[in-house]
Amino acid sequence: MAIGKKPWSGRFQKPTAPNVEKFTSSIHYDQRLYPYDIEGSIAHATMLAGQNIISKNEASKIVTALKNILKDIEKGKLKFSPADEDIHMAIERELISRIGATGGKLHSARSSNDQIVLDVRLFLRKEIKIIISLMNALQMQLVNMAKREIRTIMPGYTHMQKAQPVLLSHYLLAFGEMFTRDVQRLNECGNRLNVLPLGAAALAGTSLPIDRDQTAKILNFPAVSKNSMDTVADRDFVAEFIFAASLLMMHLSRFCEDLILWSSDEFGFVEISDAYTTGSSIMPQKKNPDVAELIRGKTARVYGDLFTIMTLLKGLPMSYNRDLQEDKEPLFDAVDTVKDCLAIFTEMINHTKFNAERMYLAAQGGFSTATDIAEYLVGRGIPFRRAHEIVGKIVAYCLKNKKELKNLTLKEYRIFYQGFTDDIQNIIKLDKAVNSRKHTGGTATSTVLKRIKEFEKSFGKN
């Protein structure tokens, strides 16, 4: 098939206008699907021969040529032409140029409609595994950090106000939990997309005696699609992946937001390595957390990819429409952005130091153990709402007299409740407050260490 001649040109009296050819071409971005397109074509040729739709000799010639085309692409010997329109046409043209008319038999019983869905599913199946591997590396890094920082106490925040003391390890594992759910979503998405679409053809299937189960077995698909129209019409698996990717990026962005704040003089909780920060073009003293800021910014980019795919799909009539050509750029962008961000974030966090002393001092402020006093009173039979009111008045007294809870005498405590005893001074110690929360999910050292061990056991199961 000559360059520029379309495989569908038989019924057309005029060649495609140059501007139309440029406008409709996708080869400049979908060429990255070439290994999956060739993998699917080899499986398809093998199945066609198994069903005597083509001869075994023809299948052998096709498969050999496809493997050689793959090698030439990987070596940079084969360049794609904009006139090829898409990756399918590019490879089919090259195949026919090498083995003649026999190459034209490969497209029997399939359409570019089911072919492209196959390529994208194969691509995404592999990329999800890579992303999960990157996620696992990050989770392991967080667990290792949690083990190292098991004695570091920091202020926990709500509404960006100091709330209660927690272990830094507990904070780190909070993101570990979020990333665990991200991995679960990616696995579930991978399971749902792991269905063979080939055989749906354009939209109605084919009258040729294909064996879809054989093709599925060759390509390691555990199932085949059940409705040919649905197979070529929907890209819900693409949308689902980008949604999962958006949540993953949201979690990364929130982590970055904290690191950005904590690296400021106002907090001074972390020191990000010089290798993962940048300077100012005008202010010599500046050390900017640009990597973290860019990850936060790129989150919006992945959100845009999600909005693109959802808007693309919302008004399409059944079944295939050329609009679906536009699904790949947001998908590729989301995949590339997530992988880049995960890789650089894991590097950055591995070269970030936490200022345990600064965190501990910060945790002492803001009356962070006030809730412990309220729970102390509850333990003495006082209704929580009454205990809350008592402690609120104690805090107001401290503010008025410029004192901290630890500076109050027993006599001062008893102004608000006569039942206070000497043990109140022990209750408001940070270590005591942290380690009193021993229940599942709490911030006590023993609980956090137990969760660390659970994480370590689960890594190989994601």
The secondary structure of 124-193, three-state, reads: HHHHHHHHHHHHHHHHHHHHHHHHHCCCCEEEEEECCEEEEEEEHHHHHHHHHHHHHHHHHHHHHHHHHH
Domain ranges of the chain: 9-108, 113-361, 366-450
Q: Is the pLDDT reported for residue 459 higher than 90?
A: no
Residue 79 class from Cβ within 10 Å (0-12 exposed, 13-18 middle, 19+ buried)? exposed
Domain at 366-450: CATH architecture: Orthogonal Bundle (1.10)
Instruction: Give Cα 126 to chain centroid, integer Å.
Output: 14
Asked if domains 9-108 and 366-450 share a fold, the reply is: no
Percent helix, strand, coil in the chain (nearest 5)?
A: 65, 5, 30
For 153, 250, 252, 282, 288, the CA distances from 273, given in Å and listed in that order, are 22, 23, 18, 21, 11
Q: Is the pLDDT reported for residue 248 higher than 70?
A: yes
Mean pLDDT lowest for which of 8-12, 120-124, 247-251, 265-269? 8-12
Which pLDDT value is given to residue 4? 53
Mean pLDDT lowest for which of 6-15, 123-132, 365-374, 415-424? 6-15
Q: What CA–CA distance (Å, rounded) separates 146 from 153? A: 12
Q: How many CA atoms lie within 13 A of 214 on its CB side?
A: 13
Q: Is the pLDDT reported for residue 6 higher than 70?
A: no
Instruction: Give Cα 396 to chain centroid, integer Å.
Output: 45
Q: Is the pLDDT reported for residue 427 higher than 90?
A: yes
Q: What CA–CA distance (Å, rounded) separates 381 from 418? A: 13
Q: Which CATH superfamily is domain 9-108 in?
A: Fumarase/aspartase (N-terminal domain) (1.10.275.10)
H runs (alpha helix) in 367-423: 370-378, 384-401, 410-413
Percent of the chain past pLDDT 70, that is, above it, reads 97
Q: Which is nearest to 272 in space by CA: 257, 287, 251?
A: 287
Which pLDDT value is given to residue 462? 45
Which pLDDT value is given to residue 20? 82
Q: Degrees (nearest 5) of the Cα angle 275, 276, 278? A: 90
Give the tens place of pLDDT for each residue, 149-203. Answer: 999 999 999 999 999 999 999 999 999 999 999 999 999 999 999 999 999 999 9
Q: What is the DSSP letter of 17?
A: P
Q: Is the pLDDT reported for residue 3 higher than 60?
A: no
pLDDT band of 15, cuts 50, 70, 90:
confident
**Contacts for 384-391 with beta carbons within 8 Å, 24 or more apart?**
390/416, 390/417
Average pLDDT over residues 266-290: 96
- Please tell me the pTM assigned to this model: 0.94
Mean pLDDT lowest for which of 35-39, 208-212, 284-288? 284-288
* Active-site annotation, residues: 159, 280
Q: Is the pLDDT reported for residue 9 higher than 90?
A: no
CATH topology (fold) of 113-361? Fumarase C; Chain A, domain 2 (1.20.200)
Give the tens place of pLDDT for each residue, 183-195. Answer: 999 999 999 999 9
**Is there a contact between 326 and 332 (Cβ–Cβ < 8 Å)?**
no
Give the tens place of pLDDT for each residue, 369-389. Answer: 999 999 999 999 999 999 999
Q: Is the pLDDT reported for residue 349 higher than 80?
A: yes
